[in-house]
Amino acid sequence: MIRTDTLIIGGGLAGLSAARALRGRKKVFLAEREARYGGLAATVLKGGFHFDYSGHLLHLRWPETTRLILGALGSNVRRLRRDARVFAHGRWTPFPFQANLAGMPPAVRSECVRGFLAARAGGGAPGDGAEVFEDWSRRVFGAGISRHFMLPYNAKLWQYPLDRLTTEWCAPFVPVPSPAEIIKGAYGRSRPGLGYNAVFHYPQKGGIGALAAALALGTSGTHLGIEVEKVDLRARKARVRHFGEVRFRRLINTAPLDEFAALCADAPAAVRRAAARLRRNTVYVLNLGFREPAPAMHWGYFPGAAFPFYRAGVSGNFSPFLSPAGRSSFYIEIATDGRPLDLVSAERACVKGLLACGMLKDAGRIEERLWLKIPCAYVVYDADRAAALPVLRGWLRERKARSIGRYGGWKYSFMEESVKEGLEAAREIAAGL
Ligand SMILES: Cc1cc2nc3c(=O)[nH]c(=O)nc-3n(C[C@H](O)[C@H](O)[C@H](O)COP(=O)(O)OP(=O)(O)OC[C@H]3O[C@@H](n4cnc5c(N)ncnc54)[C@H](O)[C@@H]3O)c2cc1C
């Protein structure tokens, strides 16, 4: 039997950041079930190509975490200015669509502008989150922008009815330009850099997995290939594969919240019922390595029904060190509601889509491929989530357990926030809370 002060479930960015901050202050036992750190922020090497679990770019916004992340990466980092686009009606326009209507055919552009002005006349201000996405989009952006981008794109991404998807997640992720910006963007003068991801950082070498590798260097008590199989929060003990029983004083969970509740033998029935109300989508990422030329862009959004994917990017443009000389790589993201994807026909449709939008010039140039599956990718925001989370959080509080990160916290979040929550949890624990 092992005794530790803090048991951490998961060696993604949240768990690693907590373990790193607790080093030398508390005894830690971190269990990561995969054979590598990083969780979703990991990189797989295949045929000389570094493939991530889709584009994983660092959009840094807070001083402490920026210092920590850039400090961990040292000289192994690049700063890039976003070149993101939207492909709609057979042509490209810069992202975000709503601020770059000039790239659309004249009839689409005037429909979007008219709809936007009508929505604004009706007082379309950003909402409080509880409104459903379909209503929110029509109220804020109007009928045209909703019809040509917001609704088809988000239906493809979320795989959940947009008249039940609530909007708490929208504020940081969906830019709402001013009326003047929308009008200027419709007639050729958009403001560059709108939205949260205008500038980003990315490792020079090793893919995004280089960040987890760098953070892991500053930890102790961390174990790979070890799954937490069962937890008893009341008795403060867990069963960990290969190690047996681990007794802990404090626990930080970073595994998906519904899966964590299922692990907890002492979770009351109300907690299990609440966990069963949480929904998520699944994302399949097709990575392709190909012979250049590569398009100059970083990534594109695809609202159109002719494309099975909602987003596709040129990972080779994040860093030349991701691919062998003269080669580049794509990532292509397809979401499902959890149903398995037929990978053979999906790959065919992806290649057809890449050729149709001009990102790929010749399918014969593809040399390597790798499908990666993200079973729990985007957590669904709906009335069930709103009802279930207070029950789950109340139970965690009562049992003095922390559940953090994108899936432990069950939210639409990003890498820097996982790092931040890891640091905050460690700070509280070090302070004896
Ligand atoms: C398609 C997609 C694209 C994204 N793009 C970006 C982006 O461009 N920029 C950005 O900042 N963020 C992006 N994100 C979000 C980012 O991936 C996450 O916010 C972040 O990596 C989450 O880190 P985490 O540590 O909270 O969780 P995770 O990375 O999920 O780590 C949890 C860890 O727990 C382990 N685990 C689970 N159960 C157990 C168990 N029982 N025992 C032991 N270990 C267990 C898992 O193996 C995993 O390693 C994207 C997410 C998705 C889905």
User: Structural domains in the chain?
Assistant: 2-43+59-75+207-277+383-430 (3.50.50.60), 97-185 (no CATH), 282-374 (3.90.660.20)
* Helix H or strand E encompassing 422: helix 415-430
> Closest Cα to atom 10, ligand 1: which residue?
414
Residue 223 binned pLDDT confidence (cut-offs 50, 70, 90): very high
Listed residue (109, 112, 171) closest to 138, CA to CA: 112
Return the structure tokens found at 427. 């700070």
Ligand 1 atom at minimal distance to the Cα of residue 59: 11
Residue 258 in contact with ligand 1 by CB distance below 6 A = no
Two structure tokens written together for 304: 């159109």
Q: What is the pTM of this model?
A: 0.97
**Pocket of ligand 1 contains residue 303 by CB under 6 Å:** no
Contact 194, 206 (CB under 8 A): no
Q: DSSP string covering 195-237, please?
A: STTSEEEE-SSS-THHHHHHHHTT-SSEEES--EEEEETTTTE
Residue 184, classed as helix, strand or coil, is helix
**C-alpha of residue 11 to centroid of ligand 1, in Å:** 9
- Using CA atoms, how far apart are residues 368 and 79, in angstroms rounded to an integer? 27
Please give the backbone phi and psi of residue 163, each rounded to the nearest 5 degrees, phi first: -90, 5
Segment 100-121 shows an average pLDDT of 94
Cis peptide preceding 293, ω within 30 of 0: yes
Average pLDDT estimate for 196-217: 95
| pLDDT given at position 363 | 98
Helix H or strand E encompassing 5: strand 2-9
List, as own/partner pairs, every contact residues 169-173 make where C-beta atoms lie below 8 angstroms and the sequence separation is at least 24, other chains included: 169/129, 169/381, 169/411, 169/412, 170/126, 170/127, 170/129, 170/133, 170/136, 171/126, 171/129, 172/196, 173/412
Average pLDDT over residues 71-90: 97
Give the N- to C-terminal CA distance of the chain in Å, as an integer: 25
What is the average pLDDT score of the chain? 95
| Token pair of 358 as six digits | 């001009």
Instruction: Check pocket membership of 83 for ligand 1, CB cut-off 6 A.
Output: no
The average pLDDT across 56-64 equals 97
Residue 115, ligand 1, Cβ within 6 A: no
**Beta carbon of 205 within 6 Å of any ligand 1 atom:** no
Q: What is the pLDDT of residues 367-415, one digit of tens each?
A: 999 999 999 999 999 999 999 999 999 999 999 999 999 999 999 999 9
Give the model confidence (pLDDT) of 326-357 as tens digits: 999 999 999 999 999 999 999 999 999 999 99
171 pLDDT band, cuts 50/70/90, is confident
Q: What is the dihedral of CA 413, 210, 253, 409, to 10 degrees?
A: 0
d(CA 55, CA 208) in angstroms, rounded, equals 9
3-state secondary structure of 412: coil
